[in-house]
Amino acid sequence: MSDEKQQGKLGRAAAGARGGSGCREADKGLFGQARELTPALYALSRVLRFQGMDEAGLWRLPPSELELMRYVHAEPGVTVGVLARELGMQVSNVSATVRGLVNGGLLEREKDPDDGRVSRLRPTLKAEQGMALIENAWAEIFADALVELSEAQREALLASVPALEALGAALKERRKAP
């Protein structure tokens, strides 16, 4: 990244840390909403990252490996290059991680039918079963916590799912932008 680009990001981050000064008025409102939302989402993501595997009685994967496995699970046939870009990792690090997951019987490589130099990644049956157990454990953890909420709070959370999915898609598209 160029120094100019890096300084632009730092300047925007500093402006955001000051409560959005330097932003348009409309952006200040969005910034305030984001400041309320992001800590809650981060706390939920930590629960998902650090709980579930033990509860499911499975191996404990480091967070980067779990992220990679979740991506391949959601997008079977993905390449190492796409994984690196989507996860914000170096291709060499993704390659090493993939190699370990292949050796562990969690991923398999298959040659691209159109380009034999390219390998496509797919989760193994062991990985598919493991992910199902982890997702069930996550659902149990959340169900236990949902009991503590009011019916209105549970309904509000359920109603927010489409908006959260749209936010995730927007963030993913934003990463792709130059």
Q: How many CB atoms lie within 10 A of CB 168?
A: 11
Residue 4 has pLDDT above 60, yes or no: no
Share of the chain above pLDDT 70, in %: 79
pLDDT tens figures, 10-24:
444 444 444 444 556
* pLDDT in the model for residue 5: 43
pLDDT tens figures, 79-115:
999 999 888 889 999 999 999 999 989 999 999 888 8
Q: Name the residue type at position 141.
A: I
Model's pTM, two decimal places?
A: 0.67
Cα-based distances in Å from 67 to 18, 109, 128, 146:
32, 18, 14, 25
Q: Considering only 50-59, 82-91, 117-126, 145-154, which range has the smallest mean pLDDT? A: 50-59
More reliable by pLDDT, 124 or 60 = 124
pLDDT tens figures, 30-85:
888 889 988 988 888 877 777 776 666 666 777 788 889 889 999 999 999 999 98
* pLDDT in the model for residue 55: 67
DSSP letter assigned to residue 149: S
Residue 95 CA to residue 59 CA, distance in Å, equals: 21
Please list, in sequence order, all residues whose beta carbon lies within 8 angstroms of the beta carbon of residue 138, skipping any fewer than 6 positions away: 47, 48, 51, 52
* pLDDT in the model for residue 116: 81
